[in-house]
């Protein structure tokens, strides 16, 4: 029954691989259960009110669990969903200062509704299918570099330099036990993967997490050096969830409180970022999983996009911020996940984390980050499919790849690549080779990049 429903054999997978992949994805993304409450809870709304960490933790885990389970059952894709980084910052620091939390979450609900409309009408699918295959491969490569950089930064292996944008370690050299633990985990993961050890990524995360707990217990370490999660045996295993934020939403109130222009700018930013972040991640992870066909199409794309929109609305209803497809899903794909069964596993563990939140605080970035670096390297292999000899595609592909890690945004990379592609075709008089949708999308991205200027002009 599982084989028929999830197409396991057709996609070259097994139940065991899906379970390993689902667990690996959870461990790679578990940090969001703790990080999202810190980001949202660290801001205050126009009235000076703050949301509590306990309630935000429950909302974050609940929304992620429901959305990921839906993706497994409806989309049959190895894609996990949770509160999107970047999107939560827009809600916390761009929306909340001008309106109440309930009104800010109302804009998130509207964002999800807009994405659902785009998906149901087929417009979002048309846009994704209109993107040249070479740029889809470039999106995969760019995401690979992006998640690798996330892993290197989260682990402290790469930091902001005093005279350079980035540097090795905190001082220009590798220092501190957390970085040492990360290096151990990365080398172990590479060795196990090279030996084709089953569950190499998952096994490495578990072993490294245990090593981190031991190191943290015997060495004198500033707990902040570990990042959001400091590895230690939790004082308790079970904690009661607090559902106090569920349903605290005012869908249209933000337009009255903040003004129509301000609320519209925030909504536009949320829709565009959510739309193309998810699009890039879906293409990149699906490409890495071997689910993209010769024309660059993703199976069940309409369902996947609809679930993504529902997840965004769910984030607003639960006050956890907009939920979207998580790029860390690539870690599970690297472990063998190919179907929605992996998402069911991830979603089930996310649901369990509502009761076992203390256990989510066991795995530090130093243990999970090596998976992002290794999977990033694997996704780089898609660069072989980009026709680097063709300037019409090579230049847009380069901008797509480079700007994702350099600007810490999938959306920026997709936008720059599409604008460059349409510009090159126009400059060479090849207007007929560009879909009218790409012209529209390029104009939208131009407005997106200039949104602060536009807002200042009308403000």
pLDDT 10s digits, 274-285: 887 888 889 888
The CA distance from 85 to 92, in Å, is 11
Report the alpha-carbon angle 308-252-448, nearest 5. 55
DSSP code, position 433? G
On the question of pLDDT at 454 being above 80, the answer is no
On the question of pLDDT at 456 being above 70, the answer is no
On the question of pLDDT at 372 being above 70, the answer is yes
On the question of pLDDT at 84 being above 80, the answer is yes
Checking 56-59 for CB contacts under 8 A at 24+ apart, the result is 56/245, 56/319, 56/320, 57/33, 57/242, 57/357, 58/241, 58/242, 58/243, 58/245, 58/354, 59/243, 59/245, 59/246, 59/318, 59/319, 59/320
Confidence category of residue 59, pLDDT binned at 50, 70, 90: very high
Output the six-digit token pair for 313: 């609305």
Alpha-carbon distance values, 223 to 29, 196, 218 (Å):
20, 35, 13
The CA distance from 70 to 63, in Å, is 11
- Looking at every residue in the chain, the average pLDDT score rounds to 88
On the question of pLDDT at 458 being above 60, the answer is no
Task: Please classify residue 185 by burial: count the beta carbons closer than 10 Å to its beta carbon, then call 0-12 exposed, 13-18 middle and 19+ buried.
Answer: buried
Task: Please classify residue 355 by burial: count the beta carbons closer than 10 Å to its beta carbon, then call 0-12 exposed, 13-18 middle and 19+ buried.
Answer: middle
Confidence category of residue 371, pLDDT binned at 50, 70, 90: confident
pLDDT > 90 fraction of the chain, expressed in percent and rounded: 42
Average pLDDT over residues 403-422: 89
The CA distance from 189 to 378, in Å, is 13
Measured torsion, CA atoms of residues 383, 384, 387, 393, in degrees rounded to the nearest 10: -10
pLDDT digits (tens, 9 = 90+) for 238-269: 888 889 999 999 999 999 998 887 788 788 87
Output the six-digit token pair for 401: 């790849």
The CA distance from 62 to 235, in Å, is 23
Average pLDDT over residues 204-232: 87
Cβ atoms within 10 Å, residue 87: 23
Give pLDDT, residue 73.
96
The CA distance from 101 to 459, in Å, is 23
Spatial neighbors of 370 by CB under 8 A, at least 6 apart, are 151, 155, 182, 185, 186, 188, 189, 204, 205, 208
On the question of pLDDT at 145 being above 80, the answer is yes
Give pLDDT, residue 367.
87
User: Which of 145, 107, 362 lies closest to 249, judged by CA?
Assistant: 107
On the question of pLDDT at 455 being above 70, the answer is no
Confidence category of residue 399, pLDDT binned at 50, 70, 90: very high
- Residue ranges with strand state E in 136-271: 158-159, 167-168
Measured torsion, CA atoms of residues 204, 205, 208, 210, in degrees rounded to the nearest 10: -120
Average pLDDT over residues 88-107: 89
The CA distance from 91 to 51, in Å, is 13
């Amino acid at each position: 029954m599982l084989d028929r429903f999830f197409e396991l054999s057709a996609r070259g997978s097994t139940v065991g691989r899906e379970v390993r992949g689902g667990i690996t994805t959870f461990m790679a993304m578990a940090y969001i259960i703790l990080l999202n409450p810190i980001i949202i809870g660290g801001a205050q709304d126009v009235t000076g009110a703050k949301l509590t960490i306990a309630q935000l933790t429950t909302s974050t885990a609940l929304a992620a669990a429901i959305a990921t389970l839906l993706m497994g059952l409806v989309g049959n894709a190895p894609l996990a969903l949770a509160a999107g980084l970047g999107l939560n910052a827009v809600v916390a620091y761009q929306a909340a200062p001008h309106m109440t939390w309930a009104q800010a979450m109302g804009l998130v609900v509207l964002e999800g509704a807009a994405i659902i409309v785009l998906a149901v009408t087929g417009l979002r699918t048309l846009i994704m299918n209109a993107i040249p295959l070479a740029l889809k491969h470039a999106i995969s490569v760019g995401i690979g570099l992006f998640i690798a950089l996330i892993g290197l930064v989260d682990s402290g292996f790469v930091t902001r330099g005093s005279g350079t944008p980035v540097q090795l370690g905190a001082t220009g050299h590798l220092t501190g036990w957390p970085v040492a633990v990360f290096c151990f985990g990365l080398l172990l993961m590479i060795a196990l993967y090279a030996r084709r050890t089953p569950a190499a990524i998952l096994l490495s995360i578990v072993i490294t997490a245990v090593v981190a707990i031991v190191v943290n217990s015997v060495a004198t370490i500033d707990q902040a050096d570990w990042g959001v999660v400091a590895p230690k045996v939790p004082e308790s295993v079970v904690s009661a969830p607090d559902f106090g934020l569920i349903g605290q939403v005012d869908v249209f109130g933000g337009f009255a409180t903040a003004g129509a222009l301000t609320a519209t700018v925030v909504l536009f930013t949320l829709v565009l970022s959510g739309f193309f972040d998810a699009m890039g991640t879906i293409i990149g992870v699906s490409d890495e999983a071997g689910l993209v066909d010769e024309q660059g199409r993703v199976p069940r794309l309409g369902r996947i996009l609809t679930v993504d929109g529902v997840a965004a609305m769910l984030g607003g209803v639960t006050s956890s911020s907009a939920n979207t497809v998580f790029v860390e899903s690539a870690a599970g794909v690297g472990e063998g996940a190919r179907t929605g069964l992996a998402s069911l596993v991830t979603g089930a563990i996310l649901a369990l984390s509502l009761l076992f939140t203390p256990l989510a605080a066991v795995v530090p970035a130093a243990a999970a980050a090596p998976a992002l670096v290794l999977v990033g390297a694997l996704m780089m292999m898609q660069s072989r499919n980009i026709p680097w000899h063709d300037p019409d595609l090579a230049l847009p592909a380069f901008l797509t790849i480079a700007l994702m890690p350099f600007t810490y945004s999938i959306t920026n990379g997709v936008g720059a690549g599409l604008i460059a592609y349409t510009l090159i075709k126009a400059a060479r008089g090849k207007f007929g080779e560009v879909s009218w949708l790409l012209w529209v999308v390029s104009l939208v991205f131009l407005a997106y990049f200039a949104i602060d200027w536009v807002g200042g002009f009308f403000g």
